[in-house]
Structure 1
Amino acid sequence: MFVKVCGITNEDDALFAVAMGADAVGFIFAPSPRQVAAQTVYDITRRLPPEVLTVGVFRDELPARVIETAHRANVKAVQLHGGTKEQAIEVSGSIQWVIKAFGSDEPSLPEADQYGTDLVHLDAPSPGSGKLFDWRLASDVPDSVRLILAGGLDPDNVADAIEIVEPWGVDVATGVETSPGRKDPTKVRRFIANARAAAPTPYLGPDELPYDWGDE
């Protein structure tokens, strides 16, 4: 079970999430209470282990700007909210790991396998709101992609979400915070532990992951 902790704004939270076993940490470059500057992210990412997937989150941003910011921030992956299919494909030509995000109400969800990536992020209609949505809508996502479930997840409901949806991974931000951009260590630890315990198959340690996020 792939676990991403998003909305990281400081080094302490990033290091703690990684120490607790997070596979990925996300940094928001889009307008948000959790928005961070590329230089701040660079100062954090250079301290993280190479096996951790670092993700820059963008909304309705031009491909050239996404690529330039991702390189300055030293993130391995980008998560794209909004934009066109063509823009996502363009970004995937320059960034190895692209996560295409969809709201659960988007009519294009059944075409999520046509955006130049097989990593698909499913959130509530208002991403970052921390609100739950009807998990049955995940059935609209093509089976050929790796689904990362988000939207209102927290330590208490993540196991139920995994049981119902059976995603490839889960993503959390609001559900493990004390305030926007500040993580609660106890919630982070419980979320990751509960997600691992609920995984349909036994979790393999970092050295046995089927995907290598390190630079090639």
Structure 2
Amino acid sequence: MTQIKICGLMREQDTQAINEVHPDFAGFVFAKSRRQISLATALKFRELIDDDIPTAGVFVNEPLQNMLDIYHSGVIQIVQLHGNESEDTVKALKQAGATVFQVFKPNAEITPTAADYVMLDSGNGSGITLDWSRVPQAPHPFILAGGLTPENVTAAIAAVHPDVIDVSSGVETNGQKDADKIRAIVATTHAN
């Protein structure tokens, strides 16, 4: 079974959809983005999300101490690195107990990393779909992101065989999470 992460939760009703369909991971964006939320909001959402759904925090070139402070607040179990973070940062986060998702861009070389998962993403919730035939043989566990929707996720899984898919814009309508799309993509992903 392929796992799934629903990223970019912005509203309280998003947490209700998450609890209903039980994805394998949920994500909060702390980096500058239209989906960015405050730590206070994320803490409130974490209280509402079932305890057995791990949450990730998305960061771009955030100072290590800030990421550690957010991790130690209990709001996230996973640190997702979308910037140019060093291997020393990855190791420091892991030493603190965090699970680390290291994100690579489509044309970047996937370099050896101590991160728990490697993610290939076309662009930070942009909705741009990767050319799956060009996805390099990535190390596992591997996360595929970028332009995934309920309509194309089966083809993406068949082409790439990721361990996890990560979706944000693909489950939105008019810029907000859509519970029906979340239901559809979680069911489809878990069936593959």
- TM normalised by structure 2 equals 0.93
Tell me the equivalent position of 1:34: 35
Q: Over residues 10-50 of structure 1, what are the superposed CA-to-partner deviations in whole Å (9 max), with x where a residue is unaligned?
A: 22112212311211110000000000000100011022222
Of 171, 191, 194, the match for 2:166: 171
Instruction: Note the C-alpha offset of 1:87.
Output: 1.6
Aligned counterparts of 2:31 and 2:108: Cα–Cα separation in 1: 20
Query: Within 5 Å, which residues of 2 pair with 1:76-155?
Result: 76-82=77-83, 83-107=85-109, 109=110, 111=111, 114-124=112-122, 126-142=123-139, 145-155=140-150
* Shift in alpha-carbon separation, 1:13–1:138, aligned structure 2, 3 A: same
Aligned counterparts of 1:70 and 1:40: Cα–Cα separation in 2: 15
The SS at the match of 2:9 is coil
Q: Percent identity at matched positions?
A: 33
Aligned counterparts of 1:73 and 1:32: Cα–Cα separation in 2: 22
Q: Which moved more, 1:188-197 or 1:145-154?
A: 188-197
Q: Which moved more, 1:49-58 or 1:152-161?
A: 49-58
Amino acid at match of 2:174: S
Tell me the equivalent position of 1:207: none
Tell me the equivalent position of 2:47: 46
Aligned counterparts of 1:135 and 1:168: Cα–Cα separation in 2: 15
For the 8 Å contact 1:38–1:73, the answer to whether it is kept is no
Amino acid at match of 1:157: N
Instruction: Note the C-alpha offset of 1:178.
Output: 1.5
The SS at the match of 1:128 is coil
Stretches of structure 1 lacking an aligned partner (at least 5 in a row):
200-216
Q: Over residues 177-196 of structure 1, what are the superposed CA-to-partner deviations in whole Å (9 max), with x where a residue is unaligned?
A: 1233x211111111111112
The SS at the match of 2:5 is strand
The SS at the match of 2:52 is coil
Stretches of structure 2 lacking an aligned partner (at least 5 in a row):
none
For the 8 Å contact 2:22–2:53, the answer to whether it is kept is no
Aligned residues: 190
Displacement over 6 Å in runs of 4+: none
Amino acid at match of 1:31: K
Amino acid at match of 1:101: V
TM-align CA RMSD: 1.4
For the 8 Å contact 1:39–1:72, the answer to whether it is kept is no
Amino acid at match of 2:185: F
Instruction: Note the C-alpha offset of 1:4.
Output: 0.5
The SS at the match of 1:46 is helix
Q: Over residues 122-159 of structure 1, what are the superposed CA-to-partner deviations in whole Å (9 max), with x where a residue is unaligned?
A: 101x22211011113333312xx211111000000000
